[in-house]
Every structure is written in structure tokens, then in C-alpha cells.
Structure 1
Amino acid sequence: MQDDPQKREIVNRRNFSFRLNLFFFATFFVFSVLIVRLAILQFVEGPSLREEEEKRGSKDVLIPPIRGNIYDSGGSPIAYSTSTQSLHYSIEPGTKKADSIAMAQKLFEVFQKYGNPKTAVTLEQIIKNMDLDYKKNTVTVPRRIKSGLTQDEIAYFMENRDLYQGIDIVEESIRHYDTSKFAVQLVGYLKKFGGGAENNLYKDRAKTDDPRLKYLQQEDVGYDGLEYMFQDVLRGKNGLKTYPVNAASRVIGPPVITKPEKGDNIYLTINRHVQEVTEQAIMDQLHFLQTTPDRDRHEDNAKTGYAVAIEVKTGKIIAMASMPDYNPNIWEGGKISTEDYDMISNVLQNGTISPVIGPYKDPKEQRKHPSSVVFLGSTQKPLSILIGLNEKLFTTNQTYTDTGSFYYGREGSTRRRIGNAKGHVYGVLDPAKAIAKSSNPFMAKMVGDALYRKDSDKGVAIWDSYVKQFGLGADTESGLLNESKGVIGYFHEEEAASAQSALILASFGQMGRYTTLQLAQYAATLASHGKRMKPQFVKEIRDADGKVVQSFQPEVLNTINFPEKYWDEIETGMLNVSVTEFNNAPYKVLRKTGTSQQQVSGATVENSVFIASAPAEDPVIAVAVVIPEGGFGAYGAAPVARKILDAYDDAIGMNGVPKKPKTPVNPPTTGTGTTGTPAGTPAGTTTENGKTDTTQ
């Protein structure tokens, strides 16, 4: 039976209608789900999604801060920063190297047209500064292309910003230093942050995630001296340009600006007049020693000098000079040529706190000369007397007859003689007179040998304990980078020879080499009757508005308690040390000369050492002067000390009332100067192992 066509048509229509309704229902269901999902996204998940989008939707570009200034005690600038406009280039994600090179060509053409011909940069320099191979920077770090933009260059880029993708103009600072070369090694210098990968301070700073504290690779940072010591204070905080970006990290709008915070300013304890006099006095004295026809004073190899002046009661450093020095503006821009570095390498370090050898380029020649860390020689003797008195090795009234020689050791080849230079015989000496005459046999017999015989096992350790309380062989706690603790030799001598030998040689200053700062701290500790003060270089820190944010108070590191009569005894001796340089001084001076002998490459050299404090009745200032290979302490170092003390009296005043400087002080010369003042007659001498060792 055949199907009825009409019925088949009806069935087909019903099936089509069902399928159509099913399709519409499915479509309605799908759209309903989509609408509900969109509603959930907008009203439920929308805020959190927008927050997440905002996290991905911005990019910070750092604006380096202006570095704080460094001023002397009177408020005159020593190191200061000026602002300049620099062009930076940021590599956008997805940027091809060829596109960056094309950008470099465009920049080169702009610089050629609008820039200063004297500061022109080449196309090769621009490409190098872009760091397209990421040798110095990650992709997100802006590259400095050129500093010191002209007003025409700035105006052009501001007007045509849209044509230069990734380009930004940033205000930066350039460091300048006093052209008179003021306290150069103490102040320090700046280098690029990117060059400090091995520096522990900058390793630590590189770990921060705080964008306001993060360093730029091309940022100038402190690398030595106070610039390094107060880096965190001087630097300030970054500013930010926060750009909105799309999902592809491309900038899509203007930035939000967070201004940088200028670094704080530091005001030093260094007095300009005293510092300048100190620097000039050293250079004058070096010239005098090298050129004088006086055979007793002539020293061809006296080519470096070091001096520190410290206030006895506060620890404030009034002057610190390491001479010769150099012009620190050679570091302008945070970098230096190889030729310039070679020229200053011998005077770059601070010889008052670390070993520095004279201006000798040849390593073989360098090995023939001592560094700035020298044996203290007879400047040791006031402390030796204090040790002897406190250990009850003798009394203030006890005497010793100096026959010109003291022998120790077994008879034969190991027998050793300690004597006075030029065969001097001083006769009957009490402790004070032993200091005044600088008797080596007295120190050897009454202190060194006596301490050994009192306690042969612990004698050297006892000695070490005493000298370190006065800062010799100990950290001065100045905080300066690369400061040496000195070189103590008595433990080695005890092992290699004997405790007796170690103590005897130490008693007149031939077992310890110390820095000039250590000697100044030691001199101040003697003058204060046992209060060792922390050296301080900064009196206060002020913000950019001039508000004091931190001030520094005197800090006692340790106190040595001796009976007052012991201090009186050494002061009597120091007052009577014969140095004609101080015969006409308007104030009384506690002083001690030293002329230490040192074996260098098989030859014997003599270093000139001098310590002093004034006024003797109530010392306020102490000085230490070291002239390596400068001969007698009274000849080489004492004239410098006299000029420093006079300058202090002029500028600050021994009694707290300053006298005005008599004449202006010119910047120190670099190799020659006016003839130095001849020193007085040396007061005492030393012979070690039968050889003259003029530690006086």
C-alpha cells in the first residue's frame, strides 16, 4: 500500500517544526548561559578582574634622585651635584634589533642638528649605549643614550615624542668637587653602579624590590671615602613615571609622576683653614726635604706625607691629609679613562688609613720603598712608660743609668745590642727623662726585658692588650672603607725568635706598623688620660630644606684607668722633648718624635713620625704626622705638626677663641712648594742590633 502523499507532507512538516523548535530552544539556552556568564563576569568577578588587569597594566620608569651635597664645617661645599637632562631609551617588548638601530640613526640625526658639537656622540656610541645585546641591562631597564641635552634637543623631543617610541627625557645629576682639591681621598669619588657587582654593599642594594630604592645600572654611586660611607644618606629616593600599558606591555597613555626625593646633605667636622694648611704644609715639607742642601735633613725619597688632626675631647677629625692628592673632578660622569686612572692610581687611596706607596710606577721600584703604614718608632715610648708603671716594673722615682747600650740574648752570634744613635750616653734617667731623651736602653731594660722576666709566658699578650686599648693594632671604628688595623709583629717575633726579643723591640716602637689615624687616636688618648674616642667626620645631616635630621655626639670607645701620677710622669717627659720647632710656640705642647727604621728589599729606610697635643695644660687637639723616608721625626714631621697646631689656634683657638688666619692659603702644589721650615735638633735615637735606628 502506497503512502498517502498528503499524510507524508503533514508528518514532514511536524518533524521540521520540532527540529526548528529544538534549534531555537538550544540557541536560547546557549545565549542564556552566555548572558548569565557575562553578568557574572561583570558584576561578580569584574572588580577582581579589573584589579588584576591594573596589575598588568602599568610600567614604572625610574627617575634617579639628585645626590645630596657635602659641606665643610663652615658650610662651604666640597662635593655638590648639578642637574642635567638625559635621554633614555626603553626597549619595548617585541622590538626588533633592526628597529632599534633605525631609531639610533634617527637620534643621531637629531643630535647632529640640535646638539652641541663639543659634546657630540657618534652613531656607534648611540648603538653601544642602547645595549641591544643586553650585556649590561635587562629588557625593562631604560638605557642612558646621552647626557647634557641642549635646550634645542629637549624642545625637539618634547614636541615630537610620538615619533620616538621608547624615548624619555630624565633629569639627572652630575657630581662636582671643590677645584682646590680639598680632602680628596677622605671625601672619595663616584663610579657607575653597574661596575660594583663585587661590592657587598651594592650586591645587597641590588636585591631590593622597592622601586624607589632600586639602583639604575648607569647611576653614579659612592666608591670610596665619605661618598661611600654615607651612600644611603646622600642618595635620596627614586621618582617614578608610571605608564599605563596594554596586554602587550605597550604604553597606551600619559604617565603618573612620583617626584624623586633629593638626598640629604652632610656637614663635616673638617675645618677648611686647618685642612688647607695641613695639605700645603706637607707638600712644602716634602719639597724642602728633597731640595735642602743640609745633609742632615736632605731626603731624596721623601715623596709622600700624611697627617691627621683630631679633637681630644670629641673625636672630631679637624684635618685629614694624604699627599700628594689629585683633582677628583677627573671622575665626572662616574667613569675615567685608562690613561687618567694610571696617572692617579698611586694617590687614589687614603694613606692615612691604609697602605699607600709613593708615586712609583715600576713594581720593582715600589718594592724598594715603605708604605704609609710605618713603625711608630719612639712615639711608642710614652705608652711603654705607662705599661711599665702600671705593671709595677718600676716607679716614677726609680732611675736607670743609660750607658749607651743594653745587651740581651746568649753570648755569641745571638747576642744583640740596643743602643742610642751616634753613641749617645744619657746617664741617670727617671721615666720622664727617659721619654725626653728618648732612651732606647731604658725602654729595652726597664720595660721590655722587665715585662718578659715578670711573665715570660704571657708577657707578649699583656703587651698586646695594653697597646690595643690605645687603638694601636685595633679598629679605630672610623667607618671608612678599607681601613687597616695596622701590622703587629710581636707575635711573629715571639714565635720566630723569643718573647724576650718581641717585648724589647716593641718597647721602643719596632714591632708595630700603624696608620696615621691610629697614631692620632693614640695621641688623643694619651692627652685625655685614657679616653679613646671614636673618630667622627660628620657633625650633622640636613635634609634638602636645611632641617637637621641627625646630629652626632662624642662617643667613648673605651677608657683606660691609670693613677693620675702616671699620666703626669709621661706629660713631664713629653713637655721636655727637645724640638726647636716649638721653642717659640704661644702654647705649650705635649710631643714625641719618632724615626723608625724599616728594612725594605734589603735596604734600611728611615720614616719620620711625630705626635703632639696642645695646649699641654688641657689638650683640645692632637695631631699625628708621618713622612715615609723623611728621616728624623724632628726634621721631617715636626714642622708640619707645628703648622697644623698654629692653624687650629687661628681658626678655632686653643682656648676656644679663634684667631683669624694671618694670610690666605693657596691650594697645595702637586710636586714643589715653598721651602719648608727646618726642624729642631733630634732629641733621642735608637740602635737595633747594633745598627742605628733613630726612633726618637
Structure 2
Amino acid sequence: MNKRIRLFKILILIIFVVLIGRAFQLQVIQGVQYFRLAENNRISIRPVNAPRGRIFSSEGQTLVSNKLSYNLYYQPNELPPGLTRDDIFNRMASVTDFSREELEEDFQRGRERSSPGEGILIKRNLDNRSMVKLEENRDILPGIDVREAALRDYVFDNTGSHIFGYVGEIGLADLRNLTDLGHDYSGGDIIGITGLERQYEEYLKGNKGFESIQVNHLGHRTELIDEKSPEPGHDLFLNIDWELQQYTERILADKFSELQKESEEDDDIAMPQGSSAVVMEVDTGKVLSMVSYPDFNPNYFAEGFRSSDVNQLFQDPLRPLINRNIMTTEPPGSIFKLVTGTAAVENLGVQADTKFNDSTGRFNIPGWSRAFTNWLGYGEGELSFTRAMARSNNIIFYKLGYELYEEFGGSKLIETAREFGLGKKTGIDLPEERDGLVPDGQWKRETRGEGWYPGDSVNMSIGQGDILLTPLQAVQMTAAVANRGNIYKPRLVDEIRTAQGEVINKYQPELVSQMPYSNNTFEIIEDGMLETVMHERGTASTPFSDFPIDIAGKTGTAQIGGTGTSHAWFVAYGPVPDPEIAVVVFIDQGETSSNAVPVAADIFSYYFDLFPEDQELEDEE
């Protein structure tokens, strides 16, 4: 019995020793071999970003596209045993023009925005020299991955920059917000920052693909196991007439440079601070041209700015990144007389031939010592209502503003301004649009601690005081006179299509509101605007003197409170009696409306091809 037990124990011991030996062989002797086999079968999943959708003009011309570029990533999960990031970065610094410090900074910045498994973005838009160096040395740079990328390409550089906006690397705040909302974004992704790029981000961005690859123990790609191609973003087709856009940008820039030169030569002339122009269809709200100057080159953002260049651009006192058509609000000056005139015709019974008298060039509110004066400095005598508009006579409009206050306590002028769409966003398909301001009694009490006085209505009647407009609101207001009271939402994008050409959105004109005024009222206002432009005594007549078509318009020189300088405005539409387009030209510190009028005249001339011989000469120059 004892012998059997001993044999059994010996057998158990032998089996145990065999098992221990086998385990030792597997784990110690062959451990490295199996580890390497496991390493050889390591799988890495790499995202493939989608190219952004393109942007086209109304004629189908490519305005914004993409071009092939290459980005540099660090893949820590593909680093072989025994090597560290420091080792790889030191090697990379020794064979490229990248400094070790630069690579470390890029790594730290990329790590903050990286997503698990997707790699850490080190460099964007590699130059050819760097590409060659990395390719020549890829065997000693495991964990370093060069990937194709679609670099945004703004084909015409600065032209249209405020329409398109620009793209940039997604920030941490946007990354958190968008991923929380369920959108597919990762650190290092490119996103629209401003303009149409921002407004239509969800359409332009596309959907990512992926590559599932096998990498060996050296961190090198050995086999493509699976892949999904990315889906390109949708394309935008604009209402923009590209030839008109280019022309408008050129003449606005020329006028701005001319005024800068005049200011440099004469200390009494203010230096202009910016300018803008919009051309819009009066019966649809389609924006055919939108220019803000000075402008910028969005390719700089796409290609990657140095911080010093970024600071210089953002600190430029002329604010080239600002789209002045929607992001600046200014006193409108006498273009606001379209509103005052409408209120007077509707509520005071004023007609085109109603007579007024400006005997002294001064107006006094009863009981007030302060005199309100005319821009001429002297009285113009008897004037009809339409002639008062044509001459932009402040005295007559002071009287109308005061009468409206006496009858309605200021409410009718404010109400009429809001009927024209002032004091709220137009709703254009661009981000960062401002509301402007139509002040009232409540606003004054909240901001100034006082009520609405007759002087407030008198000031507002000529577009001064606290009233503020954007240039886009001004052209929307002007179009409403032309189309007899319809407020259309301005729109830049006409269609959205897939990359294969399927239309997924076709935008129709959107009527925001209809003003409760008669056609006769608008016809009277139009008569005054026609006299402004087409009559020899009108304040805008000279540049239009040889026009074969009739244009209706209104000048405005808006004083900038307490500075002694003025903004230049001009709004117009044509041809009368069947208007097609409305135009606004605004020059920040442009001194006088006479500087804005010629720009608008050139726009009308170009659009309607009125003087092709002159245009050919300009193009040759």
C-alpha cells in the first residue's frame, strides 16, 4: 500500500516538473519569440479625413477647392519595444530641418487636442524637402506617419475672403462642444472658423474614412487589412456673380487707396479706416457681390500661420478680418431720410410736391436754445418734399422729425425704422452678424437714465444720434423701397449639392415681412431718390450725368460724434421703373458721400454694361 502511494507521489512530481519546464520554455526561452510574433500582428486603425466641399460662383466657377498636402503624425501605439519618443524625435531632428525644441512644442500642442488611437498631429502641410528627408529615413523613424491631407485652396487669394471666411484647426472649446452634440470631430481636425466656412460647416465637412493596417515590430506598415473611403463634403453654389465681385473689389480698393493718399497729403482730411459694398437683387434678396476692404488672404490660415503673422493680422488697426457689411454698425446719416420720408408720407400726409421753407439754414425746437443746422450752412428757400430729398436738406427733415414727435411722441419714426428691418439681423447666411440699433424710450431709460426727448426724434430724422445700421441693413432697406415694401432675407448660397452633383438644398427667396405702406408712398420716396441722382441739383448727380438709364439713390454723410470726421454712404437701385439691383457703398471715415457715389456709379455701369468702351480701357490699364 505504501509503495503504491510512493509511486503515485513520484508520478505527480514528474508531471509537475514537466509542466513547470514547459511553462519555463514558453515564457522565458520562447517568450521573446512569441512577443515578436504578437508584435508582428499588431493592428493600427488610422482615420482618413474627408476633403471639404468646394465652393462655386453662380456661373459654376471654382472659387474654393482643395489641394493635396501631407501632415506628419506621431503614433505612440506603433513604437517598437526599446525605443522612446525622445529617441525618435532626436533621430527626426538629426535628419530634417525640424529642431528638437520645435518638435517637442508641436507634440505638446498636438497631444492636447489628440483623440485616442488617432495619432498626434505634429506638422501640417509638409514642404517637399521635409517629405524627401522623412521618406529617405522612414526605416529609422518607427511611429512616425506621413498622411495625405486635403489643404484648403482659396483660388483667388484675397478676393471674396469675407464671404468665404477661413478654416483652422479645431480648438478645444469647439471640440468639446461639437463632440458633446454627437458630431464626429477629433483633435487636429480642420473646421470652418468664419464666413461661409463656418456657417455651412455641417455640409462642407464630409465624413471620415479609416484604414486598418498591420504593422511589424519596427512600426512599419506591412498590410492593409480593411479600409473605408471618406465621403467628401457637400459643395456650395453661390449667388455671387464672380466677375462683378472681382470688379467691385478692385474699384473699392482703388478708391480706398486714393483717399489714403489724399489724407497723407492733407492733414485736414481724415484717414479712411475701411470700406464695403453690397449688390443685391431687389426681388429675391440674392447677394450678387459683397466686398469688405481691407481684406486678407484666407490661404494663410489654411497653410498655417506663424504666431507673429497671426498677431500682426489681428492687431492691424484697419481690421482686415472684419466683414464690415455685417459686423460693424454705424450712424447712417442722410440715407435714413428714406425712413423719415416714409413715416412723413404715411402719417403726416406729405406729398411729392408738398412745399417747405428753409429760410435760414437753422431749425430750433420750440423752447430750446440749441439750433440744428443744415450741411450747407445757409437757407435754401422754398423746396418741395422731393427736392428736399434730392438736396438732402436737413432743415426740412428736422421739421418732419419734430412733427412726427409732436403727433406721435417719436413712436412712428421708430416703428417705421423697424418696419424697414432696422435694429435686427437681416438673417443672411453668415455668422457674426450684428443687430444694429433703433433706440427708443425704454432703451434710453435703461442706458442713459432719461426719457425720449424731441431732440432725439429730430436727430434721428437725419440718421444721427444713437441710430446704428450695418451696410447690409442699408441695402435691404433700399431694396424695400424698390420692390414696394418687401423685406427679403439676403442670401449668399443658392444650392447645396453632393460631390456627385445631386442637389440636396435649393434655396428659394425668403420674404421676411411686408411693410404696411401703400405703393404711392414708395413712389413718392422714389421720386425724391430719382431727383437725388438724375437731376442736376441732386447730391449724387455728377457721376450719373451721362447714364442712359435712371437710377434712384440717396447720399449720406454721417458725423461721428465729437470727432470732426464723417462716414460716407450711398444707397441706390435701378434701373427705374423696373429695378433689378440695389447697391450700398460705405467708407469708414470717408469724409463725404461724394466719395462713395462714384464707386456705386461704376458698379451700375459695369453690371448693366452701359459703357463697354470705357470698361475695356480700364481693363487694359
* TM, length-normalised to structure 1: 0.74
What residue number does 1:262 align with? 232
What residue number does 2:26 align with? none
SS of corresponding position for 1:539: strand
SS of corresponding position for 2:386: helix
Q: Does 1:505 align with 2:459?
A: yes
Cα distance per residue 1:606-632 (max 9 Å; x no partner): 211110000010111001111122222
Report % sequence identity: 25
TM-superposed deviation, 1:16: 6.0
Could you tell me how far apart the structure 2 residues matched to 1:585 and 1:353 are?
31
What residue number does 2:255 align with? 285
Code of the residue aligned with 2:495 in structure 1: it is E
What residue number does 2:168 align with? 191
Cα distance per residue 1:500-522 (max 9 Å; x no partner): 12211111111312111111111
Cα distance per residue 1:232-268 (max 9 Å; x no partner): 222111111235899xxx9997441111111222122
* TM, length-normalised to structure 2: 0.82
What residue number does 1:468 align with? 418
Out of 565, 579, 582, the residue aligned to residue 619 of structure 1 is 579
What residue number does 2:65 align with? 80
Could you tell me how far apart the structure 2 residues matched to 1:343 and 1:78 are?
23
TM-superposed deviation, 1:637: 0.6
Could you tell me how far apart the structure 2 residues matched to 1:334 and 1:616 are?
49
TM-superposed deviation, 1:216: 3.1
Could you tell me how far apart the structure 2 residues matched to 1:546 and 1:155 are?
37
Cα distance per residue 1:307-348 (max 9 Å; x no partner): 111111111111111112233322232434324531464211
Out of 553, 556, 577, the residue aligned to residue 591 of structure 1 is 553
CA contact (8 A) 1:188 1:223 kept: yes
Counting only pairs closer than 5 Å after superposition, residues 10-409 of structure 1 correspond to structure 2 as 12=1, 60-92=45-77, 99-109=84-94, 111-112=95-96, 120-131=97-108, 134-148=111-125, 165-179=142-156, 181-193=158-170, 196-199=171-174, 202-207=175-180, 214-242=184-212, 254-291=224-261, 299-343=269-313, 345=316, 346-355=319-328, 373-392=329-348, 394-395=350-351, 398-405=354-361, 407-409=363-365
Q: 1:335 to 1:233 in 2, by over 3 A?
A: farther
What residue number does 2:37 align with? none
Out of 437, 446, 450, the residue aligned to residue 487 of structure 1 is 437
SS of corresponding position for 2:468: strand
Code of the residue aligned with 1:186 in structure 2: it is I
Q: 1:408 to 1:60 in 2, by over 3 A?
A: farther
Cα distance per residue 1:401-442 (max 9 Å; x no partner): 23245544464xx42322322333233334323212222222
Could you tell me how far apart the structure 1 residues matched to 2:568 and 2:489 are?
26
Code of the residue aligned with 1:437 in structure 2: it is R
Q: Does 1:534 align with 2:495?
A: no
SS of corresponding position for 1:81: strand
CA contact (8 A) 1:590 1:616 kept: yes
CA contact (8 A) 1:493 1:499 kept: no
TM-superposed deviation, 1:553: 1.5
Could you tell me how far apart the structure 2 residues matched to 1:335 and 1:91 are?
27
TM-superposed deviation, 1:379: 0.8
Could you tell me how far apart the structure 2 residues matched to 1:467 and 1:496 are?
21
Code of the residue aligned with 1:274 in structure 2: it is L
Q: 1:337 to 1:278 in 2, by over 3 A?
A: same
TM-superposed deviation, 1:487: 3.4
Could you tell me how far apart the structure 2 residues matched to 1:661 and 1:406 are?
43
- Greater per-residue helix proportion: 2
TM-superposed deviation, 1:524: 1.0
Could you tell me how far apart the structure 1 residues matched to 2:513 and 2:104 are?
58
CA contact (8 A) 2:110 2:122 kept: no
Q: 1:336 to 1:316 in 2, by over 3 A?
A: farther
TM-superposed deviation, 1:463: 2.9
Cα distance per residue 1:71-97 (max 9 Å; x no partner): 222233322210123332222299899
CA contact (8 A) 2:353 2:386 kept: no
- Which ranges of structure 2 fall in alignment gaps of 5 or more residues? 16-41, 533-537
Q: Who wins on radius of gyration, i.e. which is larger?
A: 1
Q: 1:440 to 1:159 in 2, by over 3 A?
A: closer
SS of corresponding position for 2:237: strand
Could you tell me how far apart the structure 2 residues matched to 1:156 and 1:299 are?
56
Cα distance per residue 1:343-396 (max 9 Å; x no partner): 4642111112113xxxxxxxxxxxxxxxxx321111111221211222245455
Cα distance per residue 1:17-64 (max 9 Å; x no partner): 9x98xx99xx9xxxxxxxxxxxxxxxxxxxxxxxxxxxxx97642111
Could you tell me how far apart the structure 2 residues matched to 1:296 and 1:150 are?
47
Could you tell me how far apart the structure 1 residues matched to 2:74 and 2:351 are?
77
Could you tell me how far apart the structure 1 residues matched to 2:592 and 2:521 are?
28
SS of corresponding position for 2:599: helix
Out of 504, 509, 515, the residue aligned to residue 560 of structure 1 is 515
TM-superposed deviation, 1:272: 2.0
- The aligned length equals 574
TM-superposed deviation, 1:128: 3.4
